[in-house]
Amino acid sequence: MTLFNSLFARVIFTANSGRIPVKITFTPSNPNDFTDKHFAPTCVFNRQHSYRYDRFDQKYETLKYTHPSECKDFPLANEGLCQKVYKVKITTDLRKYTAPARGSKAWKTLFKRCTAVERVNAYLKEYFQLNNVRYRTGKRAKVHFDLVTLVYNASKLAVDRLAWLFLIS
């Protein structure tokens, strides 16, 4: 991981309260589970309409969802059967409920940043043989890692500078 990416990963990790967003490849199989594919609650009467993600409350560690706008015209919406605000504690299932909520724009940008860091890690393991480092002490392994990231950063900087020079001329 480069110096930039390690700092970037640290920022992502601390901004998300120490939780890294993990992509889930399965869907809920429980038919009585009133959630959509992003685990957001859905309307009780019409499961097609999902509650909209509003915000994350850090004090109580809850995700706040608001009533779907499509269900406002529903005749039984004012009878007390529909909730206007739905809150879910993220500690109920840390893989399903993340801050920010799955499917939101903030979650998508955060997930893209995390996958960018993982792409660099995979590149360094593949082409700089970081998965085959065998040293008795951690100091030599850290020096090896630092040299590899220095070479990687220098090569990316050189490529960017050359591309910039060719664009100018």
What does the pLDDT look like over 15-55, one tens digit per residue?
Answer: 555 565 666 555 555 555 778 888 888 887 767 788 888 99
Residue identified by tokens 């706008």 is 69
Tens of pLDDT, residue by residue over 84-136, are 888 999 888 888 888 888 888 888 888 888 888 889 889 999 998 888 888 88
pLDDT at 159 over 80: yes
Q: In this structure, which amino acid lies at residue 159?
A: V
Report CA torsion sign: 108, 113, 119, 121.
Answer: negative
User: Taking the mean position of all CA atoms in its chain, how far away is CA 35?
Assistant: 19
CA pair distance 71, 24, nearest whole angstrom:
28
Map out the domains of the chain as residue ranges.
3-13+106-168, 24-98
The pLDDT of residue 8: 46
Residues 12, 117: contact at Cβ < 8 Å?
Answer: yes
The pLDDT of residue 7: 44
The pLDDT of residue 114: 85
Tens of pLDDT, residue by residue over 132-156, are 888 888 899 899 999 999 999 999 9
Alpha helices of 16-98 — where are they, by DSSP H? none
Backbone φ, ψ for residue 95 (5° rounding): -80, -35
Burial of 113 (0-12, 13-18, 19+ CB in 10 A): middle
More confident residue, 4 or 150: 150
CA pair distance 66, 19, nearest whole angstrom:
24
Predicted TM-score (pTM) above 0.85: no
Identify the DSSP state of 42.
B
The pLDDT of residue 116: 86
The pLDDT of residue 98: 85
pLDDT at 12 over 60: no
